[in-house]
Amino acid sequence: MKSKIFNLSGISVLLLILSMSFVFAVITVSVPTSPTTMTKSTNSTTFTVNSSISANFSYPTTATITDADGNTATFALTNTTSILNTQTATFNVTTSTISSSFNLEKDTKAITITAANASNSTDTNTTSVTLTFDNQNYCSSGDQGGNLTFGKVNIDNAKGFGEDDDEWYPLDEIEVSIRVDNDGNEDIDDIVVEWGVYSTKEDKWVIDEEENEFNLKDGKKETLNVEFNVDPDDLSTDMGDDYVLYVKAYSDDLGEGIECVSNSDDITITIDNDFVVLDDFEISDVVSCGSEVPITADVWNIGEDDQEDVYLLMYNKELGINEEIIIGDVDSLENEKLSTNINIPSDMEEKFYTLKFWVYDEDNEVYENDNNDDSEFSLPFKVEGSCGADSTTATTSSKVLVSANLESGGKAGDELVVKSVVRNTGDKLTTYEVVATGYTDWASSVSQDLSTVILGVGESKEVLFTFDVNKDSVGDQLFNVEITSGDKLLVKQPVSVSIEESGFNLISSIKNNKYLWGIGLINLILIVAIIAVVMRVRSNSINSNI
């Protein structure tokens, strides 16, 4: 009896286990072979889907992705094997329609594949398959035509911390020389060169630019030179360091789909963990003895981590400058402003001087990048004017600050306008007399909108000087902005301006050249005399024949 009871119990347990296993034997779906990335040159792919038991598969027949500009690419899905009562199904994907202007940026589309238990229609499961489209060719329809070619695309890391031409740091100054050749037998009009820097990780453009159109005769070439700085504002720490510099040239006349050539170079943009640098210094090229000189610059954190307690050391032994400048906290890929003044002693020698700057971290160590380059910078400027002047005529503790910049002009024979800013750095309301001197070697006269300015403490005012530049004045020229108050010369600030040759103008040249007028008049008289002689000879000949 016990044996029978045991057997019955065993059978019951077995049935229970079987029933439980049946209940939990639900279908599962996986993708053992995923689709590869499709491009315009490789516009099809396949993938397989597995189920844990025999199943009937269902799937969408099309899938569409849209780029950031609304352009579309449509995928067509078909099954290449039976999808009924099977455990493995294979699907094929092709791009049936692609907008010609579809963006280079990668885009994805997730589609759902469903498997239903062939023996139990309520037992279903799904899996997501991601289709990826990547236009790896910069030309919208791939390279076309073959008449346009790139003779060269040369990258030069002209200035910055990057050690190689294809390895950049934020703020580096990059120059790219692009030579476009027309190797065909026909002229090609309206050629457009587009270029940009692309983040492969974030799938987005960091720089996207276009140059002016030009024409190329058959067999000719054109070289374009583009310059840019790697702007930290366009970067993020999520982008990694892998980028691509893309260049393409196409005929806007024929159409990008008819004539287009592309080029690409892999670029590394390095963002170290901790690196703070200086950029965009501003200081007058020439400063006078006894003056207070303003200096500004951007303090950039081009590292990945936020920085605290940043400070600078500014140093020049001859000028007696050894000063710490507190900057404070600087967030990653952000900047703070350096703004300071230096005093130029009145007895300095007139020559070029160089200020040295070092950027320090919170541990009192100079910042250093992964290439072992220190955050160290040099700022040259020239001291000239009022040097060694007597203290009764030049102030050693300046009460006025003067700066000057070119406003307009800069060609020989034309007007040149310089804007000077006068600021009261004293402690009381002061009347200043402003005048330009030392210009007679290169300009015939100067006029100014203000000669007297009255400024309260900390106030400033602009004075415009308009020079009549001589026709033969070319190159770097100097003049002085002199500021007096009462009978004291406060500042004699040298200002440098650059004069370029003016374009040749025949009418203007004749009008202003008496010699040419004289030659023209003599020629006119000779022509009239020759005509008179010819007419007289002809008249005598006619009379003799009569």
Give the per-residue pLDDT at 234.
Answer: 93
The answer to whether the pTM exceeds 0.85 is no
Q: Can you give the residue range of the structural domain that contains 419?
A: 400-499
Provide long-range contacts, Cβ within 8 A and 24+ apart, for 207-211: 207/231, 207/234
Other Cβ atoms less than 10 A from the Cβ of 73: the count is: 24
546, part of any domain: no
Angstrom distances, CA of residue 19 to CA of 23, 121, 537: 6, 18, 136
- The CATH code of the domain that includes 67 is 2.60.40
* Tens digit of each residue's pLDDT (9 = 90 or more) over 371-426: 999 999 999 999 988 787 543 333 334 578 888 888 888 889 899 999 999 988 88
Give the per-residue pLDDT at 456.
Answer: 85
Same domain? For 361 and 331 the reply is yes
* Tens digit of each residue's pLDDT (9 = 90 or more) over 352-363: 999 999 999 999
Give the per-residue pLDDT at 100.
Answer: 58
Secondary structure of residue 18 in the 3-state scheme: helix
23, part of any domain: no
Residue numbers in the chain where pLDDT is lower than 70: 1-25, 40-42, 68, 96-107, 134-136, 389-398, 503-520, 532-534, 537-546
Could you give the residue ranges of the DSSP H alpha helices within 222-378? none
Same domain? For 223 and 317 the reply is no
- The CATH code of the domain that includes 248 is 2.60.40.10
Residues 6+ away with beta carbon under 8 Å from 454? 429, 430, 431, 432
353: closest CA among 278, 302, 264, 287?
Answer: 287
The per-residue b/e assignment along 257-267, b for 16 or more CB within 10 angstroms, e otherwise, is eebbbbbebeb
Give the per-residue pLDDT at 311.
Answer: 97
393, part of any domain: no
Domain-terminating residue out of 242, 269, 296: 269
Give the per-residue pLDDT at 56.
Answer: 92
Please state the φ and ψ torsions of residue 507, each to the nearest 5 degrees. Answer: -65, -45
Number of domains in the chain: 5
Same domain? For 248 and 327 the reply is no
